[in-house]
Chain A
């Protein structure tokens, strides 16, 4: 708020008084209006209104008296802050003026300090009034905002195309939106004071809610399941239940969102059929090609020279890559169909990564690569889907081995970074050119250089990894220097405490 200029109106018939006040107050930074009678004074009040902070009013004036000016001011309904100037020994008048709403009085003659004192006090009072008014308005506004927000949330929930079911920690429904009411065939008025199991007969859903409400013991905070309900035969729903916690982390209820995925499932089935068909149609000819090449390479249809052998081996590598691509495509289509986060449970990253390292160790040994795994300190658990996490680290570590030359090193370091687990997968491999770095998480992107030519890959692995990490509210970044090595850094949130 910008500081407003202090404004004062002096109404007095004596020029000496007016000029005297002006001289004293001007030094203190007041903006001063001078009037020599009541009529003029009222005009100024009319014009300036609330911006006048203080009015100095002489009671004894020709024309309308100060007392009448006070009465007029009261009639005008403008809140004012009047200090009356009374003559010597006219306390009675001053008392009467105060009764009529004047704030203070000063009797003539007065010293400059007396004037300053009384005027400043009146000004401070005015400031406090203004502050009180501002606070009052703010409070009204926040009350209005809360009411608006409540109504907005209610409208959003009621307009949603998904069913919403909220229960308290006793499993009593506190909110069932119209879509959910329709799904379960219940009415608004049925909801009051009934337990969930008295209201609906879908045991699997009720168990989901109960499981989430008991979360603190079993450490499960959200569950997602595909269900069908007896009230809606033939339809398939995805129910997602999550716990609501208060500020001390106690579970106070559960929110369940129910989405009708019947059509999606149908599309999904059609897509699966299509992908299965395409992949078979793609695989069969490639498999036949590779089969023929194998036969030729074995020298079963005549001896090959060195050049022919070399080229045919390369052709075979490429057809193998093509078959891998078909496999990855199938995997990716599953992930994109939303099958990523199936069942989140508390996991120890150490166990997951340890297992992956065990599986990949023979590959590293075959290339004489040192494969190290370090956990810097005992880390809390994360909440994640186990098979997803295995997929992520299988991908990253096997990539690191693939792109590292013989005798190099691949290291996985598990550390703590605030509320996140930090996993670094570092290699001493061929690295990634700087301008290629931003693109490596894109689908089908592969760095194509002379060095990567001999490595067969599908260009889908990293985009699968990224999708999984993001579905777990984490992040993945990469740093790389050509011929020095590459480091992937993953952050995954720890399980919330409590």
Chain B
């Protein structure tokens, strides 16, 4: 089964998302910060990374940038977990996101379990 690295500094969120992913029999590895996430990505070489944006030690954009710059890991699909701050800025934020990051997809927190699973399946090329 595919191995997914889940990076978020909120342990409760990690727990909930882990349950969602495990219910679909994914192999989940958790990391609780940007630096730990980067280390585990390199060590475990997962099939996909679910990556939170706002983290205190190293944010998701930076982690994403570093991985995508490294030819050894640049192929790993990355799904960004975003927390949009305001309604008015939603579109602007989304546009910026698409332009400035090399993430493969993004999804707003909190996530609907079905939507999350769909996006992951798409990224893993296992569309139903």
* Interface residues, chain A, with chain B CB atoms under 8 Å away: 276, 279-280, 283-284, 287-288, 290-292, 294-295, 298, 300-301, 324, 327-328, 330-331, 334, 391
Contacts and interface: CB of A to CB of B under 8 A. Distances in A.
A294 B113 contact: yes
18 contacts: A279-B85, A283-B83, A283-B85, A287-B10, A287-B109, A288-B16, A288-B110, A290-B110, A291-B110, A295-B113, A298-B23, A300-B23, A327-B84, A330-B86, A330-B87, A331-B87, A331-B88, A391-B88
A47 B84 CA distance: 90
Contact of B87 (A280, A284, A300, A328): A328
Interface of B: 10, 12-13, 15-17, 19-20, 23, 54, 83-89, 109-114
Contacts of B84: 327
Contacts of B112: 294
B54 A291 contact: no
Contacts of B109: 287, 291
B85 A284 contact: no
A291 B23 contact: no
A10 to B, nearest CB: 90
Given A288-B10, A288-B13, A288-B16, A294 B111 contact: yes
What are the 9 A-B residue pairs with the smallest beta carbon separation, nearest first?
A330-B86, A290-B110, A288-B12, A291-B16, A291-B110, A327-B87, A287-B110, A300-B23, A298-B113
B85 A330 contact: yes
A73 B105 CA distance: 108
Contacts of A294: 16, 20, 110-113
Q: Give the residue among B109, B110, B111, B112 with the most A Cβ atoms within 10 A.
A: B110
A139 B17 CA distance: 85
A294 B113 CA distance: 7
Given A291-B17, A330-B85, 5 more contacts: A283-B85, A295-B16, A298-B20, A327-B87, A330-B89
Contacts of B16: 288, 291-292, 294-295
Contact of A287 (B15, B83, B87, B89): B83
B13 A291 contact: yes
A300 B54 contact: no
A334 B85 CA distance: 12
Nearest to A333: B86
A8 to B, nearest CB: 83
A280 B83 contact: yes
A276 B12 contact: no
B47 to A, nearest CB: 21
Nearest to B13: A288
A283 B17 CA distance: 17
Nearest to B84: A327
A265 B86 CA distance: 20
Contacts of B19: 295, 300-301
Nearest to B114: A298
Given A280-B54, A301-B19, A291 B111 contact: yes
A331 B85 CA distance: 10
Contacts of B86: 279, 327, 330-331, 334
A295 B23 CA distance: 10
B26 to A, nearest CB: 13
A391 B87 CA distance: 11
Contacts of B10: 284, 287-288
A295 B20 contact: yes
A222 B25 CA distance: 62
B82 to A, nearest CB: 11
Residue among A283, A291, A331, A334 with most chain B CB within 10 A: A291
A294 B54 CA distance: 21
A295 B19 CA distance: 7
Contacts of A291: 12-13, 16-17, 109-111
A313 B12 CA distance: 19
Contacts of A283: 83, 85
Nearest to B23: A300
B40 to A, nearest CB: 21
A295 B20 CA distance: 7
